[in-house]
C-alpha cells in the first residue's frame, strides 16, 4: 500500500500545478486526489493554490471536508451504497456511480439537483468497477439525481497513448447522450485525456512530488 504523502511543499505543488495547466489549457478542471495526503497536511494544498479536491474514502472525506470546508470536494472512490448518505453533505459531485443500489440510495438521500457522474468501464475489464457502455441509457433513465457526465479509469499502460482510444470512446458516449462532464485522466495520462475532451482530470502524486 502506498505511504501517506508528508512534508508537502506549497511552492513545489504550485509549480507542478502550473506545469499541468500548461499541458491541458485553461478550461479543464484540475482535481487534486488527496487519498494519501494526511489531514494535517491539507493546509499546504490551499497555500499552493488548489481549490478542487477529491477523496476516495467516505470516512476520510467526511473528516477532511469538515476540517477544510473552503475547498470544493468531490467523491472519486468506489461508491458503496451504504456510504451515500455519509458523503452527500460534503460534495458537489460524485464521480463513481456504478450500481443500481447506489442509485436507490441517491434517490433516498439526494435531490433532483444532486449532481453525479456514471462510472463507465469502457475497456470491459472484469476486475474493475464501472457499468458497461450499453448500460448508460438505463442508468440515465433510472437516476433521480442529475447525471451531468461520465467517468472512466482505463487499463494501466506505460504508454499514455494507450489510453487515447478509451478516452475517445467515453467522449463519444457522452456526446451521444448530451452529457457535459468527462472525468478522465490521471497523473500518467492527463494530457491525452484533455486532448480527447476531459473536463476534469484527477491528479495525485505528480502534483506533490
**Residue 53 sits in which domain range?**
10-208
For all residues of the chain together, what is the average pLDDT?
96
Number of Cβ atoms within 10 Å of the Cβ of 88: 17
Say if residues 111 and 89 touch (Cβ distance below 8 Å).
Answer: no
In the structure grid, which three cell numbers stand for residue 185, read together?
485522466
Domain-located, residue 3? no
Give the residue among 43, 35, 45 at the shortest CA–CA distance from 2.
Answer: 35
CATH number, domain containing residue 51:
3.20.20.10
Structure confidence at residue 125 (pLDDT): 87
What single-letter DSSP state applies at residue 28?
S
What's residue 2's pLDDT?
Answer: 62
pLDDT beyond 50 at 1: no
**Within-domain flag for 4:** no
Contact yes or no for 118/151 (Cβ under 8 A)? yes
Contacts of 176 (CB under 8 A, 6+ apart): none
Q: State percent of the chain over pLDDT 70.
A: 99
Provide mean pLDDT across the span 67-74: 95
Q: What percent of the chain has pLDDT over 90?
A: 92
Residue 29 resides in a domain:
yes
What is the DSSP code string of 171-193? HHHHHHTT--EEE---TTTHHHH
Report whether pLDDT(128) > 70: yes
Q: Domain total for the chain?
A: 1
Q: Examine residue 5 and state whether it is found in any structural domain, yes or no.
A: no
**What one-character-per-residue DSSP string does 143-161 give?**
-SSEEEEEE--PPP-SSGG
Residues 135-169 pLDDT 10s? 999 999 999 999 999 999 998 888 999 999 999 99
Residue 1 included in any domain:
no
Q: Has residue 45 got a pLDDT over 70? A: yes
C-alpha cell at 148: 451531468
pLDDT in tens, 180-196: 999 999 999 999 999 99
Straight-line distance from the first to the last Cα atom of the chain, in angstroms, rounded to the nearest whole number: 17
Residue 30 belongs to some domain of the structure: yes
Query: Is residue 176 in some structural domain?
Result: yes
Amino acid at each position: 500500500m502506498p505511504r501517506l504523502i508528508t512534508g508537502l511543499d506549497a511552492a513545489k505543488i504550485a509549480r507542478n500545478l502550473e506545469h499541468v495547466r500548461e499541458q491541458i489549457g485553461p478550461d479543464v478542471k484540475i482535481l487534486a486526489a488527496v487519498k494519501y495526503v494526511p489531514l494535517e497536511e491539507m493546509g499546504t494544498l490551499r497555500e499552493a493554490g488548489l481549490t478542487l479536491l477529491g477523496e476516495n474514502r467516505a470516512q476520510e472525506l467526511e473528516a477532511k471536508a469538515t476540517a477544510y470546508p473552503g475547498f470544493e470536494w468531490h467523491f472519486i472512490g468506489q461508491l458503496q451504497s451504504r456510504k451515500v448518505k455519509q458523503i452527500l453533505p460534503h460534495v458537489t459531485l460524485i464521480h463513481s456511480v456504478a450500481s443500481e443500489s447506489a442509485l436507490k440510495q441517491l434517490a433516498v438521500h439526494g435531490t433532483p439537483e444532486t449532481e453525479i457522474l456514471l462510472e463507465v468501464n469502457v475497456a470491459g475489464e472484469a476486475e474493475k468497477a464501472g457499468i458497461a457502455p450499453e448500460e448508460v441509457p438505463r442508468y440515465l433513465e433510472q437516476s433521480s439525481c442529475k447525471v451531468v457526465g461520465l467517468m472512466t479509469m482505463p487499463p494501466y499502460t506505460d504508454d499514455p497513448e494507450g489510453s487515447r482510444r478509451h478516452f475517445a470512446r467515453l467522449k463519444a458516449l457522452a456526446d451521444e447522450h448530451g452529457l457535459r462532464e468527462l472525468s478522465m485522466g490521471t497523473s500518467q495520462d492527463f494530457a491525452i485525456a484533455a486532448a480527447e475532451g476531459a473536463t476534469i482530470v484527477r491528479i495525485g502524486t505528480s502534483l506533490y512530488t
